Chains A and B, each alone.
Chain A
Amino acid sequence: MEFKDYYKILAVAEDADNKVIKTAYRKLARKYHPDVSEHNEAEEKFKEVTEAYEVLKNPEKRAQYDEYRKFGGRSSGRQDGSSQYTEGASGYGDFSEFFSSIFGGADPRGNEQREGYGFTSQQSFNQRGQDIETDMPIFLEDTLADASKTISYRLPHRDAEGHVSEINRTLNVKIPAGVVNGERIRLKGQGGQGVGGALNGDLYLRIRMVPHPLFDVEAHNLIITVPLAPWEAALGATVEVPTLLGKINLTIPANSQTGQRLRVKGKGLVGKQGQGDLYALLKVVMPSSTNDDIEKQWQQLASSAAFNPRKEWSK
């Protein structure tokens, strides 16, 4: 079991008063709150600072902790009966094993049930099961029609004696056509089991669109970058362009420019207000190799075209 230096965690001195401790806690809580922070370990950090504050703000707990800290954990720590709690709730929050070893296994907050990073109480008699939220990666192609997907997720499971462990659950789910990134789909009753006859929690699938190697998404429209040879841009061409549903022939008008967008109606994503479009974004690229003959032709072009692309600068 790892010793936790609560003073270090809150970055306060050992003799810091309550006001200093509260300010330090508030700053760190705002910084690491999992709903706010993008930090990789936000959840862990937030739990850690909350635990530290829980102890240091309370004179009795602080005194007990100071004593424990002073004697390097050799006295006054409770080593009994508390492991069941932390093991049982592993992965679903709760304070650390270290906290339990000193202060016992009681719910540190004494009340609410939290989800995700929260603090789960084991003591309720009639409590709705926990809601679970999990990411559901979806390919763009899968959003064009209703899709059947298999999802695996972890679920807290409470046995007859009230011990909580995690189990893996696999479900087949139908993802409706036209889902968008960030959308949440509710699967009623597929979350944590209820206690004392209460309802099960729900499962929420949070749709995460997997980036596509060819297409970018803007609302319900798709964008594909179409590389063109300089002479294709100059003379116009018919180019084979991939869409989500097979290839199409796209007509490139003569004198096309890099950055120009050509709209292909109805070849975008399925939207709630109708089908989106595909935009071909043109990009003129130079050939990477050349030879004397080609160079000569470019030189001829240079002298006959009399084109100054930087005309704007000389104004």
Chain B
Amino acid sequence: MENQYFSFRELCNVTALPSQTIIEIVDQGIIDPEGSDPQTWQFNTQMVSVTKKACRLHDDLEIDWSGIALAISLLEELEQIRHENQQLRAQLNRFITG
């Protein structure tokens, strides 16, 4: 299996974002890489996807970075709750039918 982790520089490359933007996204806690400073940061594939999403929202909806941090965490929570809801519904269905 190929390496699923990205260095800071690689993340800049794959997202075509300036390093300052990535630093802002990390500072806001939108993504939380392993490692203590940009030289040692390690990002996983999930973080790449979140970074891209954060940028799309930032550009398209003209939301500042702290607003993006809030939006992303609410979206994640929403997704988790939807998923849980779906699971519980499926379980309930098995329980009340048949």
Residues of A at the B interface (CB closer than 8 Å) are 26, 29-30, 33, 35-36, 46, 50, 112-115, 118, 128, 131, 133, 174, 176, 181-188, 199, 201-202, 204, 211, 216-218, 223, 225, 227, 281, 283, 285
Contact = CB atoms under 8 A, between A and B. Distances in A.
A113 B83 CA distance: 31
Contacts of B52: 115, 131
Given A133-B49, A217-B87, A218-B87, A174 B1 contact: yes
Contacts of A182: 83
Contacts of A131: 14, 52
Contact of A35 (B1, B56, B87, B91): B56
Nearest to B4: A186
B14 A202 contact: yes
A81 to B, nearest CB: 29
A121 B12 CA distance: 19
Interface in B27-86: 45-46, 48-49, 52-53, 56-57, 59-62, 71, 75, 83
A283 B56 CA distance: 47
B49 A223 contact: no
B53 A35 contact: yes
A211 B90 contact: yes
Contacts of B14: 128, 131, 201-202
Contact of A204 (B45, B56, B57): B45
B60 A184 contact: no
A33 B83 contact: no
Given A225-B94, A227-B98, A184 B61 contact: no
Contacts of B95: 225, 281, 283
Given A188-B2, A225-B91, A227-B98, A36 B57 contact: yes
A216 B75 CA distance: 24
B57 A35 contact: yes
A29 B61 contact: yes
Contacts of A186: 2, 4, 45, 48
A305 B88 CA distance: 35
A184 B87 CA distance: 21
A204 B48 CA distance: 10
Contacts of A184: 45-46, 48-49
